Structure 1
Amino acid sequence: DKAVEPMGDSRDDLWIADRLYKKLRELYATEGGVFPDPILHLHWDYDDGDHPSSEKVAFEINGYTWADRQGLTTFGNLKDDGSTACGCWIYAGYFDNFETPKCRSRVKDEPGTTLGTHLGWAWAWPVNRRILYNRCSMDEHGQPWDPTRPLLRWDGEKFVAQDVTDFVATNPPEVSAQNPFIMMQEGVGALWSPSGMKDGPIPEHYEPVESPVSNRLNRRQFNPVAVISGKGEFGALTEAENPEFPYICTTYRVTEHWQSGAMTRSLPWLGEMMPDMFVEISPTLAAKLGVQPGDRVEVTTVRGSLVAPAMVTPRMRPVRVHGREIEIVGMPWHWGYMGKYTGASANVLTPHVGDANTQIPEYKAFLCNVRKAGGSGPVRG
């Protein structure tokens, strides 16, 4: 549902996608192109006046029978013979009709009668189930582990449920107990991934590539198949326990930021709420450095440095590892050299190290040093 009217000449994503496809189809029809059939014969009937219908798109995602366009109520209605169509199986049932789609339902549970699953309030994927793998809330006899909060319970003949069951409810509890994780190949919980892990299958403890301590649980200091990239100074790494970089640095987002710096720095109301980069340090580190809140500090890694105001809070506390206290230094993302609100960027400090399986960056723990830089107030880029 629309929140606000678009400003100026701006258009919403659905309008842009619709016009883009129609223009491409027109060009293929008039000028031709390599393999035109997927463009020219794409099923695209979302028109609703001057704007494509978001409800028609929702119905397409939900799925329907091809012959009579009846909405699917569950992914169990899907067929592999071409008689049904569905944009995404996990959403089958959320918008099964145009008059009273389940996603717009607003029926609250009666007070004091349920656990607050509110099955009549909106819709949750899949099949409006609120808790995945909910068979695990009961023992092998179908009795809840916590009798005071019975999400599901076997009464001797059937399951009494306050959720959509995530198992075949017609089976007796002794049978369903053998397969509580229906989305898992084995049907049961797993301690490790059976295949595909580059550093598996058994979980190991590795220190971050940059760590203030040595690894006492493994002869390998860090993951031997971690993805290490970057060139020049951006690819530089420091060894463990380097006295030149005695502190742990970490990065995070704050509530006022929206998704990424490219958007946050371009929205005045968000920039006004959180206009500047800052470095969060503990009171103990502030005392050691002679830093007061608002003083500028310089944070340095082997890759680069930045200057920003210090925020001294008890939220940052040193950790005790191997018998010594090690300070943690925190800073948020989002600033850079472009946008309405510019400033120092944490990207100049972070290491170019990725997880072995996903290449998710190792930005939550690396080594740095901090010193008082002189002056106070914001540092603009």
Structure 2
Amino acid sequence: LPADMVVTNPEHRAKAEKIWGLPEGTLPSKPGHHAVDMFRALARGDVRAIWIQTTNPWVTLPNLARFERQPNDGRFIVVSEIYPTPTTEVADLILPSAAWVEREGIFGNTERRTQHWHQAVDPPGEAKEDAWQIREVARRMGMEHLFPWSDADWHKALYEEYRSFTLGTGKDLASYEQLEATRGLRWPVVDGKETRYRYSAEHDPYVKKSSGVHFYKAKGYGEKAAFWLRPYHPPAEVPDEQFPFWLTTGRVLEHWHTGSMTRRVKQLHQAVPSAYVELNRGDATRLGISAGERVRVTSRRGTIELAAKIDDRGRPPAGTVFVPFFDEARLINQLTLDALDNISAEPDYKKCAVRLEKV
């Protein structure tokens, strides 16, 4: 739920039901599937329909082969997208979406700044923004009361509904009008003033001390900074004689995510046109691999061929190789391990065992 609220808390559920106009008891007290488990449930058949927006899971999911679709599999996948992707390839229905410059909206970033932007150009063809699609489907399913706003002002109304969750919590967002009139404001925003430094007595209006810092959101820890110490948890998979290298995956500057947009930018695509495998120079010399040569990378889940780079940007340590995940023609996540961190449920993209072979 918004603003640090969780469905396991009955007071939080009651607040959300009141704001959303839902009958008491509508929201379940048990959390649903996390991201990876949602797609596992889809593969098992426990989930039979899924609507995907603003993400490209058939590039990013770990151990991708686990999620391959079969003809007549009884699932129904809807994908809202602006470009063709591997995820749209497996979709039963594709809804053309508007890009960010083709719609009005609000976004936030990691410095707590919330910003508004106006629509700059019209979307092509029948493309519609994602939120409009959700509103329209709800209307056609007889749930228009959940979005009781006219087409003329629904952007503001939807945002203000979300904002109402934050007021009085220490995460107070600025109003729509305030954001339209500024270049963005950092929450909490109280009496029209942003908070430059959070938890600081000199800047944060929620701090009750006359000086210093006050972690007022840490209610379970005496409103003091909390450090979580956890015991060592061994990797689910480690290198051995058959698979002697660590594989770690990640981003490159030019293609921060799956490349569905950045690979269509000429300059970015020319800078890094395809994925590669980066080796430590000592490992490359021992294996007789030179920069630019083809290397077959194999894990217990799949295999892929890539051009080699030697001590390039990442300079991996001996025994470790790096492959970026942006390239839909070279899906490194066919090799990655779908073991999860038991607290965050984040997949273990950063370490699994592979072997290398010069092609």
- TM more than 0.5: yes
Deviations, residues 288-313 of structure 1 (Å, cap 9, x unaligned): 22222221001122333211111223
Q: Is the 8 A contact 1:316 1:329 kept in 2?
A: no
Match of 2:136 in 1: 19
Q: Which structure's residues are more often helix, by fraction?
A: 2
Tell me the distance in 2 between the aligned counterparts of 1:40 and 1:206: 48
Q: Is the 8 A contact 1:317 1:328 kept in 2?
A: no
SS in 2 for 1:353: coil
Matching residue's letter, 2:330: A
Alignment of 1:94 with 2:174, yes or no, is yes
CA-based RMSD of the aligned residues comes to: 3.1
Deviation of residue 10 (structure 1)?
1.3
Q: Is the 8 A contact 2:294 2:307 kept in 1?
A: yes
TM-score, scaled relative to structure 2: 0.56
1:235-250 pair list within 5 angstroms? 242-250=240-248
Match of 2:215 in 1: 181
Tell me the distance in 1 between the aligned counterparts of 2:231 and 2:270: 44
Matching residue's letter, 2:344: T
The alignment of Structure 1 onto Structure 2 pairs a total of residues equal to: 235
Alignment of 1:59 with 2:160, yes or no, is yes
Which structure exhibits the higher relative contact order, with contacts defined as CA atoms closer than 8 Å and separated by 6 or more residues?
A: 2
Q: Is the 8 A contact 1:245 1:367 kept in 2?
A: yes
Q: Is the 8 A contact 2:249 2:323 kept in 1?
A: yes
Tell me the distance in 1 between the aligned counterparts of 2:226 and 2:124: 50
Deviation of residue 47 (structure 1)?
2.3
Tell me the distance in 2 between the aligned counterparts of 1:306 and 1:205: 32
Q: Would the alpha carbon gap of residues 60 and 303 (structure 1) be closer, same or farther in structure 2, given more than 3 Å must change?
A: closer
Q: Would the alpha carbon gap of residues 93 and 165 (structure 1) be closer, same or farther in structure 2, given more than 3 Å must change?
A: same
Deviations, residues 278-329 of structure 1 (Å, cap 9, x unaligned): 111233332222222221001122333211111223434454xxxxxx3220
From 227, 249, 254, give the equivalent of 1:191. 227
Dislocated runs of 4+, deviation >6 Å = none
Matching residue's letter, 2:178: K
Gaps of 5+ in 2: 1-117
Match of 1:347 in 2: 333
1:1-381 pair list within 5 angstroms? 1-25=118-142, 39=143, 41-42=145-146, 44-48=148-152, 53-63=154-164, 75-76=167-168, 92-95=172-175, 101-106=177-182, 121-127=183-189, 128-135=194-201, 161=202, 163-168=203-208, 171-173=209-211, 180-184=214-218, 185=220, 186-192=222-228, 202-212=229-239, 242-257=240-255, 259-260=257-258, 263-264=260-261, 267=264, 274-317=272-315, 319=317, 326-336=318-328, 343-373=329-359
Judge which range, 252-261 or 351-360, deviates more: 252-261
Tell me the distance in 2 between the aligned counterparts of 1:309 and 1:249: 15
Tell me the distance in 1 between the aligned counterparts of 2:130 and 2:288: 51
Deviation of residue 345 (structure 1)?
1.6
SS in 2 for 1:134: coil
SS in 1 for 2:330: coil
Q: Would the alpha carbon gap of residues 40 and 332 (structure 1) be closer, same or farther in structure 2, given more than 3 Å must change?
A: closer
Tell me the distance in 1 between the aligned counterparts of 2:223 and 2:353: 42
Q: Would the alpha carbon gap of residues 124 and 190 (structure 1) be closer, same or farther in structure 2, given more than 3 Å must change?
A: same
Tell me the distance in 2 between the aligned counterparts of 1:258 and 1:2: 24
Gaps of 5+ in 1: 26-38, 65-73, 77-88, 107-120, 136-160, 193-201, 213-241, 320-325, 337-342, 374-381
Deviations, residues 89-118 of structure 1 (Å, cap 9, x unaligned): 67644125xxxx222344xxxxxxxxxxxx
Deviation of residue 172 (structure 1)?
4.0
Q: Is the 8 A contact 1:317 1:327 kept in 2?
A: no
Tell me the distance in 1 between the aligned counterparts of 2:120 and 2:291: 39
Judge which range, 125-134 or 353-362, deviates more: 125-134
Give the fraction of aligned pairs with identical amino acids, expressed as a percent.
26
Deviations, residues 59-81 of structure 1 (Å, cap 9, x unaligned): 333349xxxxxxxxx823xxxxx
Q: Would the alpha carbon gap of residues 206 and 62 (structure 1) be closer, same or farther in structure 2, given more than 3 Å must change?
A: closer
Deviations, residues 108-155 of structure 1 (Å, cap 9, x unaligned): xxxxxxxxxxxxx521222232333225xxxxxxxxxxxxxxxxxxxx
SS in 2 for 1:19: helix
Determine which structure has more spread, i.e. the larger CA radius of gyration. Answer: 1
Deviation of residue 355 (structure 1)?
1.0
Tell me the distance in 1 between the aligned counterparts of 2:281 and 2:148: 60
Q: Is the 8 A contact 1:94 1:123 kept in 2?
A: yes
Q: Is the 8 A contact 2:296 2:306 kept in 1?
A: yes
Q: Is the 8 A contact 2:263 2:273 kept in 1?
A: no
Q: Is the 8 A contact 1:134 1:166 kept in 2?
A: no
Deviation of residue 251 (structure 1)?
0.4
Tell me the distance in 1 between the aligned counterparts of 2:254 and 2:287: 29
Q: Would the alpha carbon gap of residues 43 and 344 (structure 1) be closer, same or farther in structure 2, given more than 3 Å must change?
A: closer
